[in-house]
């Protein structure tokens, strides 16, 4: 059975040959695109399509028998499902009024290129959102640290200014106290000098009176 025969076989079920051809093309395109991108397409009961990497190796040319080096390559591989194997081996009979392969559960058929693109876009969006959150958190943390540092500097500056003002006040008070003490000490000295002066004058007077008395005698 080729592709045209496959389309004819499902035309009645799809509502026409055109619809059947489009359905076959869509299914094959989705499978091929998914396998090429490295995804595994699995249909329950039917089988799975996947991409397999083959390492570089040596092989024999069947015509000449010459040893030839084969480069590393990738090939598609199909693995039949257990239901498909059972039908082919004859351990299970083909249903007459039902499909040979049951409908795959939701999510068992891997999507093609569109699904791959959507997944990649979703991953990129998630990564960008996470990066944006990290950047925002880092900026907030930096802003908080900067604000805290500024507040600490201002508080330190205020304390230093207060200490300087207190020191200046203490120095001024000490100078005033010293000046008062010096003034208090100097004032009694002057009084003492003033008191001594009259005493000297009276002594001089007494001496003069004694001399005058002596002369009269």
pLDDT tens, the chain, 217 aa long? 999 999 999 999 899 999 999 999 999 999 999 999 999 999 998 999 999 999 999 999 999 999 999 999 999 999 999 999 999 999 888 888 778 877 655 554 444 444 544 455 555 556 666 666 766 666 776 667 766 677 777 777 777 666 776 676 677 767 776 667 666 665 544 444 444 445 455 566 766 667 766 666 5
Q: Is residue 17 part of a domain?
A: yes
42 is a domain residue: yes
The answer to whether position 196 is within a domain reads no
Residue 81 lies in a domain: yes
pLDDT in tens, 71-99: 999 999 999 999 999 999 998 888 887 78
The dihedrals phi and psi of 163, each to the nearest 5 degrees, come to -65, -40
Domain contains 47: yes
- Where helices occur in the chain by DSSP H, the ranges are 3-14, 17-36, 82-89, 113-216
Report the C-alpha gap between 216 and 209 in whole angstroms: 11
Residue 167 lies inside a defined structural domain of this protein: no
Comparing C-alpha atoms, which of 22, 14, 217, 29 is closest to residue 114? 29
Q: What is the CATH number of the domain that holds 30?
A: 4.10.520.10
Q: Residue 64 belongs to what domain range?
A: 3-113
């Amino acid at each position: 059975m080729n592709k045209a025969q496959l389309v004819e076989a499902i035309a009645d079920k799809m509502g026409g040959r055109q619809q059947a051809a489009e359905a076959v093309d869509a299914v094959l395109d989705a499978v091929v695109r998914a396998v090429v991108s490295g995804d595994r397409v699995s249909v329950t009961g039917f089988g799975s399509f996947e991409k397999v990497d083959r390492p570089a190796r040596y092989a024999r040319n069947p015509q000449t028998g010459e040893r030839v080096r084969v480069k590393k390559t990738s090939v598609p591989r199909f693995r039949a499902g257990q239901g498909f194997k059972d039908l082919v081996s004859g351990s299970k009979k083909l249903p007459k009024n039902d499909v040979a392969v049951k409908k795959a559960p939701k999510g068992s058929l891997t999507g093609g290129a569109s699904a791959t693109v959507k997944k990649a876009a979703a991953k990129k969006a998630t990564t960008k959102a996470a990066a944006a959150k990290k950047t925002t958190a880092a900026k907030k943390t930096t802003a908080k640290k900067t604000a805290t540092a500024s507040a600490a500097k201002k508080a330190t500056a205020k304390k230093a200014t207060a200490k300087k003002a207190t020191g200046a006040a203490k120095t001024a008070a000490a100078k005033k106290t010293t000046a008062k003490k010096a003034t208090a000490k100097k004032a009694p000295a002057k009084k003492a000098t003033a008191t001594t002066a009259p005493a000297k004058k009276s002594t001089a007077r007494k001496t003069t009176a004694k001399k005058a008395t002596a002369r009269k005698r």
